[in-house]
Chain A
């Protein structure tokens, strides 16, 4: 009963976040337009590099374009999480949220997943239509689809922990934005945003496989264009491990941050 009430509480937060996000439909429209341009450009680029029927390290042009469709849909599904937490901390609003019967981190997580569900779904829909028009539908199997969906959710959890950890740095430093900038560049590179990390030199590929960034973009996109169960298990394990580690780090950082309010004032 108690658990059910808690579930109802945080699912209501997620629902409200999804609803709020729909108010930004103009911003989403602009993002979709940008998304279409990126897909168009890369579709042409891959056509030039590997030709219509060629392959690159075993990937066809169609696979590479659909890979990018997924990674971009996920990345552009960025939510207002950093801005929200940063504002809460800097304006002192966090103190007032703490006066409600809520766990602040779970509240932010529910809000993030609510927003992300809307933005990522719309991005996938719009991006999928553009990619379909540009290059046609890939041969998607049901297991690939299921694997990709599971990994998108796990990747989103990893991303939440990373982004919230960056935003909570506002407790200790004047600006957390530079850290976000570094994070976004790591997603570009070690996350395999534009090309699968299998195409990287061996040492970078190994490094990328060990880090959490590939769980956010590479792992779900790779599963979508043709992953296998062995790879799925490995990706799931990595994502879960990072989730646990980062969640621990996040709650440690949060408790230190709240202590900071007590030491330095609200």
Chain B
């Protein structure tokens, strides 16, 4: 069953332009200039129930606009969308009972009161029966380990504690789809790890996770599928494993030889990143040279004591894809200008 489905979903905005200078400001009083801005263009998505999907892209790619359309906050300029069978912008309030949202930079907990009171209020907002509310609250307090600070005003909590409470609050009404926008932003290493573990647990319980994050650690650790958008359209939609496989033309090879060598001969496809005595760190372009071939060439130099083959960080992969797309977009614009 599909949790989220969109067909040719698009959104355009009107952005006002202000003329510089005092005279320009005066002119803007009676003459408004602006431009049409394409935020999302023809998005086709199919996300099954229980999936964990990373929805990523550079700043201004259209991620937030898409989330706002999927939660019913924005009306699309064209196209269709169904979230759990609801058309979000037509049935926003009904849909709200079935989805949860966590926005790392915005709080849904009331600042001056403890999480316990915010939970009570959210229970009422989501029209929960008192018995269900108490049971669910107890479950979440235990799962998220909130008891220590459950009755302390939110303003006095650490960011890690607050985010744990935010995530728990978003799950109070047992949503089937959870929209997470930068849920680990600003958290320290331990708190980030805790948050990721919790999100994984929630996903294991069957909740569909739709994650937007610039943190590649979040994406890699939480999601099995990656949808990348840029300039309002989908650039990549594939599993995490195939993303790595397809876009990892390079491998990072760390080698320790039995004996130190002075110079490494030039090998096409292998770029030495670091060389010290018997230790080497090589970036290998597998489209030009296979791992096996490199291994043989290294063996010719000296017996190999140890070797590790790793992928470059996901961050590099994503950055490369973004750069590649920007270059393509630039070319397209230049071509359009020429014609």
Contacts and interface: CB of A to CB of B under 8 A. Distances in A.
A141 interface: no
A96 B103 contact: yes
Contacts of A8: 124, 127
Interface in B91-106: 92-94, 96-97, 99, 101, 103, 106
Nearest to A22: B112
A13 interface: yes
Interface hub of A91, A101, A266 (most chain B Cβ within 10 A): A101
Interface in A15-34: 15-16, 19-20, 23-24
A53 interface: no
A241 interface: no
Contacts of B120: 12, 16
A95 to B, nearest CB: 5
Nearest to A96: B106
Interface residues of A, number: 26
Interface in A74-99: 91, 93, 95-96, 98-99
A100 interface: yes
A98 B106 CA distance: 14
Contacts of B127: 5, 8-9, 101
B276 interface: no
A101 B93 contact: yes
Given A100-B96, A261-B73, A95 B68 contact: yes
B14 A264 contact: yes
B117 interface: yes
A12 B121 contact: yes
A265 interface: yes
A262 B75 contact: yes
Contacts of B93: 101-102
Contact of B112 (A12, A23, A91, A95): A23
Interface string B183-225: 0000000000000000000000000000000000000000000
A20 B65 CA distance: 32
B49 interface: no
B10 to A, nearest CB: 13
B79 interface: no
B239 interface: no
B65 A99 contact: no
B168 to A, nearest CB: 16
A96 B113 contact: no
Nearest to A97: B108
Contacts of A9: 124-125, 127
Given A9-B127, A266-B64, A96 B15 contact: no
Contacts of A264: 13-16
A263 interface: yes
Contacts of B75: 262
A95 B125 CA distance: 17
B110 A99 contact: no
B78 interface: no
Interface hub of A12, A24, A91 (most chain B Cβ within 10 A): A12
Contacts of B176: none
A12 B110 CA distance: 13
Nearest to A107: B125
Interface hub of B68, B97, B106 (most chain A Cβ within 10 A): B68
A20 B112 CA distance: 5
A206 B15 CA distance: 46
B329 to A, nearest CB: 21
Contacts of B118: 16
B61 to A, nearest CB: 14
A241 B37 CA distance: 43
Contact of B73 (A15, A20, A95): A95
Contacts of A265: 13, 15, 37, 39, 65
A96 B125 CA distance: 14
Contacts of B73: 95-96, 98-99, 261, 266
26 contacts: A9-B124, A9-B125, A13-B121, A16-B110, A16-B120, A16-B121, A19-B117, A20-B112, A23-B112, A23-B113, A23-B153, A91-B106, A96-B73, A96-B101, A96-B108, A99-B73, A101-B126, A101-B127, A261-B73, A262-B74, A262-B75, A263-B14, A264-B13, A264-B15, A265-B15, A266-B74
Given A12-B124, A264-B14, A265-B15, 4 more contacts: A20-B112, A23-B153, A95-B68, A96-B103
Interface of B: 13-16, 37, 39, 64-65, 68, 71-75, 92-94, 96-97, 99, 101, 103, 106, 108, 110-113, 117-118, 120-121, 124-127, 153
User: Top 6 A-B pairs ranked by shortest CB distance?
Assistant: A12-B124, A23-B112, A101-B96, A20-B112, A265-B13, A99-B71
